[in-house]
Amino acid sequence: MSGLVLIGTQWGDEGKGKVTNYLASRADMVVRFQGGANAGHTVAVDGRMVVFHLLPSGISEPGATCVIGPGVVLDPEELVAEIDRVSAQGISVGPNLLVDVGAHLVLPYHKAQEAAEEEARGADAIGTTHRGIGPAYSDQCSREGIRAGELATFGRFRELFERNAARRNRLLERLYGKPPLDVADALSRLERAAARIAPHLADTPPIVRGALHEGRRVLFEGAQGSLLDVAFGTYPFVTSSHTTAAGVPAGTGVPPSMIGEVIGVAKAYTTRVGAGPFPTEADPKAAGLIRERGAERGATTGRPRRCGWFDAVAVRYSVELSGIERLVLTKLDVLDAFDSIPVCVAYELDGGRTNRFPRSLDDLARARPIFEEAPGWRQSTAGARKPADLPAAARAYVKRVEALTGIPVAAASVGAASHAIVEFSKML
């Protein structure tokens, strides 16, 4: 099968964009299947750091067709701004970008609503990105959404937008005490964005299915991580879409039998942004060192990430959810500075030991990590390009991750550059 799915196995920020970009030169097509501009995939392209929010991370490869699938919620203004931003960095976006006509739109009233709702929650705020993702998915489910295909006929789009904006303005003013959205100004901006996006609109599911039928290599790129899945993540501290491999068929129109192998991406440690339980969170000194060495700040929000140790319980849970067959371990080089590296092998919960990731948020909040100590290597891994280049203790750490997760590690990244990857087995 020529399909390959890349899934985050933690709370996002695992390096899926880097891995996608690394593999894109071997791929014919890269397909984003869920999420929106709340994603932040940072990759090194020709020595420059480029952040992708909506564009698939393979867009820097001119030979790859890049698809924004129907499961993505698309902010038209953000997409145009991103195209301009990466174009200024030397990445050309042309006919190789396809935007599905069924992708639901994130519009200015969605972002205003999300900001007002988060403010109203006060101390109970979830920590959303204020990108309007949740309200856009809510509109889709309540059958009030506007899809990307409407941008091709702006008169029809205008009618739908004015209808929805009127309802949302009443909500903003009467419930949240916020000023109404300037509808005329928003429409003026959106009309300019629509003209830019219209040439990229396409009915993409038949195109993706056709590529797979022809044996072309198709990469399916997810956003966020498995523990942020709306159904199986640490609810309510989750995103608003399905981030596991189950989201691929729903977000692309490709049947499950065609999606091919599933590869998970995990950091060699663990991070999390925002609120919610985090069993393996490190003490402030160790967390600070990880954050500094790993440049752990959100590419979308700029918020510092909470940092901790590798949680094998959580990653095993993600492996089971998506049927992950191999793992890519990213940022192994961040651990070069440690004499000893804690690894969570199980949880202590209510006086007993468990190897299962709790579905209950209260249970997860009470869970305490059971650590074993892996020896550090205290030497740079940055120049490694093949397994033999890694220090013996680093190779042993990778082997221990394999044993704890139950699947082989296909590759490990040892630096920010796209080529700074050690492959243990061919991925595509």
Active site residue 130: no
Q: What is the DSSP string of 65-102?
A: EEEE-TTBEE-HHHHHHHHHHHHHTT---STTEEEETT
Q: Is 167 exposed, middle or buried (0-12, 13-18, 19+ CB in 10 A)?
A: exposed
**Contact assessment for residue 133 and residue 73, using Cβ atoms and an 8 Å cutoff:** yes
The residues, any chain, with a CB within 8 Å of residue 31's CB and separated by 6 or more, are 56, 66, 67, 69, 204, 208, 218, 219, 220, 221, 252
Tokens of 163: 């209808």
Dist CA 53 CA 223 (whole Å): 9
Distance of CA 155 to the CA centre of its chain: 34
Q: How far is CA 262 from CA 7, 9, 19, in A?
A: 7, 11, 13
* Strand, coil or helix: 13: coil
* Residue 263: DSSP 8-state: E
Q: Which of 28, 41, 104, 110 is catalytic?
A: 41
- AA identity, residue 128: T
* Residue 357: DSSP 8-state: P
Dist CA 18 CA 289 (whole Å): 22
The residues, any chain, with a CB within 8 Å of residue 240's CB and separated by 6 or more, are 133, 134, 136, 137, 138, 230
Dist CA 318 CA 266 (whole Å): 10
Q: Which of 13, 100, 229, 333 is catalytic?
A: 13
The partner residues of 29 in beta bridges, in order of sequence, read 65, 218
- Residue 362 Ramachandran class (φ > 0 left, ψ -120 to 50 alpha, else beta): alpha
Q: What is the DSSP string of 171-212?
A: HHHHTT--PPP-HHHHHHHHHHHHHHHGGGEE-HHHHHHHHH
Active site residue 389: no
The residues, any chain, with a CB within 8 Å of residue 198's CB and separated by 6 or more, are 151, 152
- AA identity, residue 92: S
Tokens of 190: 């959106």
Residues labelled as active-site residues? 13, 41
